[in-house]
Structure 1
Amino acid sequence: MSAIAAGRATDAGSGPAAGLDARVVVRRGGFTLDAALRAPAGSVVALMGPSGAGKSTLLGVLAGLTAFDEGHVRLNGRDLDVSPSRRLAPASRGVVLLGQDPRLFPHLSARDNVAFGLRVHGAARAAAADGAEHWLRRVGLAELGGRRPAQLSGGQQQRVALARALATDPAALLLDEPLTSLDTETAGDVRALLHEQLAATGTTAVVATHDAVDAVALADRLVVLEAGRVTQSGPVREVLASPATRFAAAVAGLNRVVGRADAAAWRAGDLVLPHPAGVRHPLTAVFRPSDVRVVDGPARGVGEWATRIVRLEQTPAGVRVRTAAPDVAVDVAADRAAGLAPGAAITLRVDPADVRFIDEP
């Protein structure tokens, strides 16, 4: 077995323990991270949550860079961390962490940066050089191997960092918002490259991100982390279709309004909608901001309600109006937003046919 493959020496491929299995508790001042995360071998898990939720802390523990207070980390049946006092060093884990900063050596060429990773893992000089050339071709930089990082664009630097990470054949790849610092077009290109190479290599990966596009394009499963706790997890499509929290709904681009059904209708404040027959318990109404309309005059019945504007937010297509009682987002074209202001009264309408109900967990 080559030294480069050592990170996967305990793969066993398809056994029940294959993949990443972690449960960690980290206490820092008034914040506590208490989260479990599982990624079957070869799968990609998206980790989403608001700033300060603990995403980077969790990845730091998995990479062996951050101490924890309780828990364990296992990878392909191999114990990386049994307890806070029994932990493998980062270099011995077979785990690579790649963040927003590519962290390339500025004095080395792209080729030598990739080769460096291979040399650290025991490859001979010639083999490392061949491996670097191979991976630069795979990430579309075959002609730029002689350039130093300062001579590369941000997207090209991130491609070199990805090549260096995957060249060492890691048992798990951790990506901490790797596309955040890139412009939209470049991020799309690197995202496509990530999808292609993760699928081709079968690398188990965890991607921390703020962008639902990353989850949809890259991941099999989605874990939502809020205030140090996992609030929802499951297949990406299921989580986005039935968000369990306000944050998850915002990620999915949906309004999420909790109401209560009685014998006549479903109600949340002044919003009244018909509901499935025979249901008399709390339900969550889910609908798109683009399905809500601003109407003139007072509310006139089912699906129309009066409320007040809380704030206005800019969107690529116009203005998003946030309201209170209930908290709803409404997308309005820029030319129709004149006169709307925080505190102003407003009447909204949603077609009941555009509303889907899910059970409140």
Structure 2
Amino acid sequence: MLKRKKVLFVTNSLQKAGSEKYTFEIVKHIDKSLFDVEVLTTADVHINKKFPHVYYFELKKLGIKIHTNLHRPGEIQPQFIHRLPFKKISNYILFRINRYRRSSLYHKRLNKLLSSFDAVILVDALFFHHIKNNLNPNIYFETHLMCHQAQFNRDFKIYEAYDKNSTAYNFVYADEYQLKEIEAQEVRIKNTFGFPLSINVHDLAPVNYNKILEQKEFNIGVFTRINRIKPIDKILEAFEVLKNLNSEVKLKIFGHIQDPDYHQELMEIIKNKGLINHISFEGHAENMLESIKEKNVSLAWIVSIYEYVGYAATELCMNNIPIILDNIDGNNSIKPIDNETSIPPYFYTPSELAKHTHYILSNNKLEELQQLETDKFLSQHDLEKNISHYEQYLLNALKNQEAKIQ
């Protein structure tokens, strides 16, 4: 019997968001007869009650070992602090504890943990700095790419922490443009593997789309987190145009407000455009499909980069909800070209997004678009099929790593 390979997945948090869902799906469904899997999260999974670490508790239910306390070595209990006679002494000790978090003891503990695995797999290059100084060159390491450089200010470089002189970096990507962005930042790539964002088809709960259409309401849904990383200004512009073409349509924005200042700006824009009665913020959708049924959402507009479709949109398509992409990478390296024949259709221009949406609605094309997208996503994003390819890739990579160090 083959000895199972010990694999550690490293993630920043386990909240209900894209990279966290990606980690959860792989860890849950990877073949446990081949891999002994554990998880390290570098965030405190207990402190955020408004946006809880849902996948932490889900993985615990599955019996997955999760390491969560490596950022807090040498903690002093609060009751001990309260016994101290002077507040200044308390503050000084707290200051020393914060520095201690990055002490040699912390690094020794992290080194020991990472070195006990056959493979260390980082989910999202944004958090490479958490572990970059603790990687053992004899341990196989790869990064799974979760975002695009085009999402961020040009002054911020996702791959800044990666050593440009190293030739040992392995990357697993969901979109080939991610590799181009790595190369543009002069980071050398050793091996790559394409792994589409995937969902277990047995977990799907497809919406009865005919029932939504029977409502005769044209509600467009936007599912996002309200921040400037994926701005929705163009969505508001497009909706203003669409509203002039179809006075009955409404826009429902679902998402956790991460940037209150940006939310306030959006509210001012909505008010100034006279759309206050036609656009509503519905808050965080704990269950997208239930929210869609409750609010009779007929179609979703998705903020996209390079036509890339994230987990939320993938889940929508695989559960019978049609989408149209609002691409926001127009100021970057590729020439913006609207494409209404693509599946899903994508647009850089707000007016073209609005006009095509109006065409879909007014010509009863919603169900046709839904069927085309559902068929495509079911064939390309089936987790059972895709993870079996990844398992074989990882086994081969570990075999090559063993041969290298022998």
TM tier relative to shorter chain: under 0.3
Greater share of residues in strand = 1
Higher helix share: 2
Structure with more contact order per residue of length (Cα contacts < 8 Å, sep ≥ 6): 1
TM-score by length of 2: 0.25
